[in-house]
Amino acid sequence: MGIDIVIGAGIGLFLFLWVIGYNVLPLAFLGVGAFLVWKLVIQRQVLTTSGRGVQISDTSVDFEDIGGQSAAKKELQEALDFLLYSERMKELGIRPLKGILLSGPPGTGKTLLAKAAARYTNSSFLAISGSEFVEMYAGVGAERVRKLFHRAKDLAHKQKKSSAIIFIDEIDILGAKRGSNVSHHEYDQTLNQLLVEMDGLGLEQEIQILVLAATNRADALDSALLRPGRFDRQVKVDLPDKEGRLAILNIHTRNKPLAEDVNLEKIAQETFSFSGAHLESVTNEAAVLALRDDAQEIEMKHFREAVEKVLLGEKLDRKPTVEELKRVAVHESGHAILAERVHPHSVSQISIRSRGNTLGYVRHYPKDDLYLYTQEMLEEQIMIALAGALAEEAVLGARSTGSAGDYEQALRLVEKMLASGMSELGVVDVSKLGTDQRQAVTRDILSKLEQRTQEIINEGKTILLQIVDLLKEEESISGEKLRLYLGTVA
């Protein structure tokens, strides 16, 4: 109310002076300047005291509620024991941990682990994103860091707890290597303040504060953050393996009615490289599909379609022409038959339904999660990628642009072979190979594999045409039905 009176009086005085013939132009400039300065000061004060972006929660998440991260949970719990048994640590003269960095791909449960850590240690919990610290106003980020640590102590006092956990998500925004944002020194000032606050943490304080941070770009962080005495521990939160995916599926289906035909172990096997967030989405989408079908229970078919939707996207309304549909069926049949020849029982489903950016697809699943590949394995993957185009050529007489993605995949695999010393060149520095030399070796590898692939396609051409007709009729067939035609049913 007071500021409104001042502004109104100022406007009245301005009009009065203008009426009596006074030159009000200098006064107008002075008034506008004073208003902008006042606005800047008030805005900065609001930014540094509002607590915008900080989330405070009495989290109910426990470590038992997080599946697929047994190694990360164990490592994190061992680190948290420094906070949980701080008195014992003080007796032994052990320096407390000040920070723990959770690094890994998106959707793997880093935020959930931070919340579980707060419950495990009975600590107050404050969460904020790294982007909330950086503003256009100089000094705001550093001030916000100071207030965040003060707020953590005040919250712990209020909740009558002896410790507090500050969780900073996306810390790579705040903690990027100094100098990388040359046009914005605010980033560096904010990071410097965080380092100062972390250096001030110690056992002698009444309230113990632990900083947990999450990132999927640990390589981008400033080295000062990662040295001992700041983020003392780095916990890798990676994509779950098959057993981890099964544990996550069990957690997310506890409150869902499952039909007798649902095999969560098989779903876990088929969802290689899915994160915890992906798997939660799969269970949710399966429930939505069951609701659409007015089903009382979630069936295996709902889970299969949910996996496809999460992996590839929603079905498209656009229908390809009859000629396009046949070409897509030939293409996908080529991929599937070749995959079954080199990796028996590896095809989960073949479809010519349009989803996302694809007109058709073959979904594979490995018998085991593999992280190392031999030369033979890489060559077989290249052959599977080439099979679609070669099937088109064998049946329809020409290839199409639909093979562009397959060729990109094949070239990436050839590059991996070169880098791993699996070519005729032996162990070489790939970056120092001449373009002509690299192209010649790549062409030679692909030519030999194309020839082997073409032989397999020609041998199975009769069955391939049968699969094409079946796909045109049903749009989608399972791997089991494919194996019936191939005569390779286990």
Q: Which residues are annotated as catalytic? A: 332
Indicate the helix (H) or strand (E) that contains 130: none
Which residues, 6 or more positions from 93, have their beta carbon under 8 angstroms from its beta carbon?
none
Write out the two tokens for 343. Answer: 């990796």
Bridge partners, residue 167, by sequence:
127, 212
How far is Cα 134 from Cα 143, in angstroms, rounded to an integer? 11
Chain centroid offset of residue 281 CA:
13
C-beta pairs of 400-405 under 8 Å, 24+ apart in sequence: 400/327, 400/331, 402/327, 402/328, 402/331, 402/359, 403/331
Kind of pairing between the strands at 347-351 and 361-364: antiparallel
How far is Cα 360 from Cα 294, in angstroms, rounded to an integer? 28
Phi, then psi, of 468 in degrees rounded to 5: -60, -45
DSSP string, 42-94: HHHHHHHHS-TT-EE------GGG--S-HHHHHHHHHHHHHHHTHHHHHHTTP
- Burial-class residue 169 by CB neighbours within 10 Å (0-12, 13-18, 19+): buried
C-beta pairs of 471-475 under 8 Å, 24+ apart in sequence: 471/329, 471/332, 471/333, 471/350, 471/351, 471/352, 472/325, 472/326, 472/329, 472/352, 475/351, 475/352, 475/353
**Looking at this protein, which amino acid is placed at residue 51?**
G
The dihedral through the CA atoms of 361, 362, 367, 368 has a sign that is negative
How far is Cα 69 from Cα 87, in angstroms, rounded to an integer? 29
The dihedral through the CA atoms of 466, 468, 469, 473 has a sign that is positive
Q: Tell me if residue 263 falls in helix, strand or coil.
A: coil
Task: Tabulate helix, strand, coil % of the chain (nearest 5).
Answer: 60, 10, 30
